[in-house]
Structure 1
Amino acid sequence: MENTLFDRTFRDSEGNIVIAQPPNLPLIVGIVASLLKLIVTTEEINLALDLVAFGSLYTWAWQELFEGVNYFRRALGLIALVALLVWKLQ
């Protein structure tokens, strides 16, 4: 099989096209904490959930950026990381 740009962008080491994967633990924790922030209105708990959500989503983005199975997943991690930092710095 040729090693084309398409292959490097969308295929993993086994030759499978990988765009979406089952979510891993940091992504699940980040999504659940973000959803709980919408439900819980207590200031202290909301702040704790915000920290947990940001930390887990940051961890997920960092892992995708450096350990993603293909260039698409790594680009997804970079975009998510930049978006998280921009969102927090506003």
Structure 2
Amino acid sequence: MILIHCPYCDETRPEIEFANAGEAHVARPEDPSTFDDSQWEGFLFIRSNPRGRHHERWRHIHGCGRFFNAIRDTVTDKFETTYKAGEPRR
């Protein structure tokens, strides 16, 4: 069983209480009206898929319901750390 620490609840709970929300720290476009179709494709769908350490966004769906960021190793599935949304990348 994978255990994940919610930085808002300050509890470590089973993975089933959480939902992965994709890559963390994806910058939104400053002026979306200037984007063409290929730029929107890149923003909405193209993500890195690294082997190893990866910054991800998670949601504690069966707890506080808040989004937070995590650093997880994609090879071992181990969580290095979690931190609140809005905090700088670690």
TM-score (structure 1 length as normaliser): 0.26
Higher helix share: 1
Higher strand share: 2
Structure ID, larger Rg:
1
